[in-house]
Amino acid sequence: MSNVAEIRMQVMWNRLISVVEEQALTLLRTAFSTSVRESGDLSAGVFNPRGEMLAQAVTGTPGHVNTMAEAVLQFMNEIPREEMFEGDTYVTNDPWQGTGHLHDITMVSPSFLNGELVAFFACTAHVVDVGGRGFGADGKSVYEEGIQIPIMKFAERGTVNRDLIRILRSNVREPNQVVGDFYSLAACNDVGHRRLVDMMNEIGLTSLDGLGEFIFSRTHDAMLERIRTLPKGSWSNELVTDGYDEPVKLAAAVRVHDERIDVDFTGSAPMSRWGINVPIIYSKAYACYALKCVVAPDIPNNAASLAFFTVSSPTNILNAARPAPVALRHVIGHMVPDLVLGAIAQALPGKILAEGAAALWNIHISVRPANGAAGRRAEVLMFNSGGMGARPALDGLSATAFPSGVHTMPIEATEHTGPIVIWRKELRPDSGGDGEFRGGLGQVIEIAATDGHEFDFSAMFDRVRHPARGRNGGRDGAPGVVQLDDGTQLRPKGWQHVPEGRRLILELPGGGGYGDPARRNVDARAEDRSKGYVSENDR
């Protein structure tokens, strides 16, 4: 390929990425749920007619993007090519064919140019409610966790399936928000399709075959080069999480070959009777993300880069079989990167960050008038983050969602959704693990219902009994705390009640430290104290 032709292909590749970025921004701007609109809990991407991901939007989470990369193939298996028409949009929230739990809606739309199928657009977003027990770990099977939508048509030839809309409205607590998000997802794909057609007409393309071959060949060669520089061998790691009512052991073996990396979750705990199980599609998504962070963080994420990683597991908590409850699959799933990175750290000493809070401290609040009084009912969802682990040469980032990458919701947006008040939201002093480099700080969040209201909440928290571990001599981060303002200790998982007049206080866990604390720079310690990150009498 000549230099001019290669430059032209690179420009088109960048243009394709801009197409999916606009696709994602459409969803951000039109979504009804704060989890999408404010936190970016979504993904968007474009695929070739064989269902291989060509490009993804930068906006989004690994758990959505990397599961979506497999989900499109599931849609193609369910809907024959002869039943795909211009104007179609397909939908599912099947945990084993989508992104791991019912709260995520995945939509796929075929893209036609002059009557020929040239691409698929796909997107995923978390909606505020899917009925059932609500967003929590208390279900004993997936049948209790909400409405299940098999792979089906949301729209055919541009006409929306009104029966599906009526079924949705009858099964969820926030029908306007949920149905609105369905339309936002469909619009997201539609914008991607229109921009792709504009691009192809402008450039004179009749298919994406040539561009796809360029993308995949360049990605493949770059990934292969990186993997060949890694030490070869097998390394194992174990990690213990809080679980629901008893600790859960996670185990991983990582083997680096000349041309691929394998991850095996044999040895992990068996499936739980509570909704913290993880379908393998989600475990694989975060295992691949962890590996890519180490091997090739700068190489675009597409079918060619993901093809170098294989993930396997017997049936266990990281490979849960239907109909296991999976609503909180993210709590265990977000631990997978720390688990995998702990194994890789043995192969690459001095290069891998310490463990962090990992799992988001999501909270679903169901607020209502107290004692039958007049007032407002609402379902409120908040995403919150603890501290990241310290890095080999830098302190950990505070209140940062790693590995999910979602944003924390602004207080104003959260309070607007229902009769609650966030009285306090601030960094938690002394929560980062000590070390040559300090772990990131968690947060302190204080929540109450407005006068005349009470609320139930679904706790989805971890690192309360098993804090983030430091690395290379660094100290562990502080564990999380869940309590009322009168000191009553609450459970880290499950639905619980906060009576009128009481406040819920969440102290989010900090990240582990890195390196011997005795080696920490004197000026860095002084700065920690001056900023209030560390108490005056802490060290």
- Looking up tokens 């969820």 gives 172
The Cα 268–Cα 279 span in angstroms is 13
Residue 539 has a pLDDT of 46
Handedness of CA 432, 491, 283, 35 (dihedral sign): negative
> Which phi and psi angles does 527 have, rounded to 5°?
-65, -40
Q: What percent of the chain clears pLDDT 70, i.e. is strictly above it?
A: 99
Residue 473 has a pLDDT of 97
The Cα 389–Cα 407 span in angstroms is 18
The Cα 455–Cα 414 span in angstroms is 15
Q: How many CB atoms lie within 10 A of CB 115?
A: 6
pLDDT in tens, 42-70: 899 999 999 999 999 887 788 888 898 88
Q: How far is CA 194 from CA 60, 63, 65, 514, in A?
A: 21, 26, 21, 48
pLDDT at 538 over 60: no
> Which phi and psi angles does 162 have, rounded to 5°?
-65, -30
The Cα 310–Cα 505 span in angstroms is 41
> Which phi and psi angles does 241 have, rounded to 5°?
-115, 170
Total-model pTM: 0.94
R_g of the chain computed on alpha carbons: 23
> Which phi and psi angles does 25 have, rounded to 5°?
-65, -30
Q: Which residues contact 97 (CB under 8 A, 6 or more apart)?
A: 71, 74, 151, 281
The Cα 410–Cα 361 span in angstroms is 15
At 450, the amino acid letter reads: T
Residue 264 has a pLDDT of 98
Is residue 537 very low, low, confident or very high in pLDDT (cuts 50, 70, 90)?
Answer: low
323 in Cβ contact with 96 (< 8 Å): no
Query: Angle formed by the axes of helices 3-30 and 175-203, to 10°?
Result: 160
Q: Secondary structure of 86-154 in the HEC alphabet?
A: CCCEEEECCCCCCCCCCCEEEEEEEEEECCEEEEEEEEEEECCCCCCCCCCCCCCCHHHCCCCCCCEEE
Provide the edge-to-edge strand list for the sheet that holds 104-113.
Answer: 53-56, 42-47, 116-126, 104-113, 89-92, 152-156, 159-160
pLDDT at 393 over 90: yes
Residue 539 or 199, more confident = 199
The Cα 103–Cα 134 span in angstroms is 9
Q: What percent of the chain clears pLDDT 90, i.e. is strictly above it?
A: 86
Q: What is the mean pLDDT of residues 487-502?
A: 96
